[in-house]
Chains A and B, each alone.
Chain A
Amino acid sequence: MYKAANFSYRFLNDADNILEFLNEVTRAVLSHYGEAIPKLILSSLKHLLVESMTNSIKHSGIMNCNVSMYFENKYIEIIKEDDGKPFTHHLCPQWPLSDDHITDHPLLIYKGNMDKLLAKVESPCKISFYAETEIDTELDFEKYQLRNFGLLIITKCSKSFTYEYFPEKNINRFSMILSLE
C-alpha cells in the first residue's frame, strides 16, 4: 500500500545547499515530534543526512537526488533516491552482483583504527551495511581511508542502512532507519 511521505525534498547536489536542507528537515521534525525530541537524535539525523547528501554530491554524477522521510512513532525512515552512478566498490563492482560476488561472507567496505564497515549481500541488487568496533591499540593514521568513511558515519547513526539498485530504471535507493528510542 502506498504511504505518503511526511517530508519530501529535491536536493540539488551542491554543498552550498546542505545547511538549508538541514534547516528544512529540522523544522519538519520539530513540527511533527515537538521540542521534546532528544538532541542526540536530532544530531544523529543531521550527521546521517550530511553524509548522504555529501555522498550524492561526490559520487552520483548527476544534478540532484530525492529525499523522502516517514515519521513513525518509534523511528524515522529516510529514503534517498537518484538515477546517477550506482554505488561501486571493488567487492561489488557492478549491479546486479554476479555469482562471483554473492557470498555468505560479509564484504569489508571500510576499515579504520576503530571500526570496520561491512556489508551483507541480501540479494543480487541489495546490500545492508553494519559496523563492528575493532580498536587498534596503536594509533596508525596510515589506516585512515577517505573513501567510504561517510558510509560508516551513516551506518553508526542508523538502526539499519541498506543500498538497493533497480536496474530496470537505473535507480539507486539508500534506505536508513533512525531509531527514536
Chain B
Amino acid sequence: MIEVQYINDYTLITISDSQANLQNAEMFRIEVLKVLDTRNKNLIIDFSNVAYVDSTFLSVLVAILKAAMKEGGDVAIF
C-alpha cells in the first residue's frame, strides 16, 4: 500500500491506496514503522492518491509522528 523512495536525509512515502481508513490504517502503521527502523527518521508522506482520510488513520499518523520524534525525526504530509 506504500511506495518508498529515499531522497538524501528524507524518506518519501507515497500511499498508493485511494482510501486511508480503518481498513488499511494498521497495515500502514506497521509498514511505516519498519521504514522508520531502517533508515531516515524524517518522513514525507504523499496523500495525493487518497480520496479521504478517516479518524482511525489520523490516529495512526499521530502514532507515527510520535515514533519519529522519539528518534529525533519528523513527519510532513502533503
Contact = CB atoms under 8 A, between A and B. Distances in A.
Nearest to A14: B23
Contacts of A150: 54-56
Contact of A54 (B21, B51, B62): B21
Given A141-B62, A141-B66, A16 B56 contact: no
B14 to A, nearest CB: 19
Given A18-B21, A57-B22, A50 B66 contact: no
Interface string A126-167: 000000000000000100101001100100000000000000
B56 A54 contact: yes
A144 B59 contact: yes
Contacts, number: 44
A46 interface: yes
Interface of A: 15-16, 18-19, 22, 46-47, 50-51, 54, 57-58, 141, 144, 146, 149-150, 153
18 contacts: A15-B19, A15-B22, A16-B23, A18-B21, A18-B52, A19-B18, A19-B19, A19-B52, A22-B51, A51-B54, A54-B22, A54-B54, A57-B22, A58-B56, A144-B62, A146-B56, A146-B59, A149-B59
Instruction: Rank and list the top 7 A-B pairs by shortest CB-CB distance, nearest first.
Output: A150-B55, A15-B23, A141-B66, A149-B55, A146-B59, A15-B21, A54-B54
Interface of B: 18-19, 21-23, 51-52, 54-56, 58-59, 62, 65-66
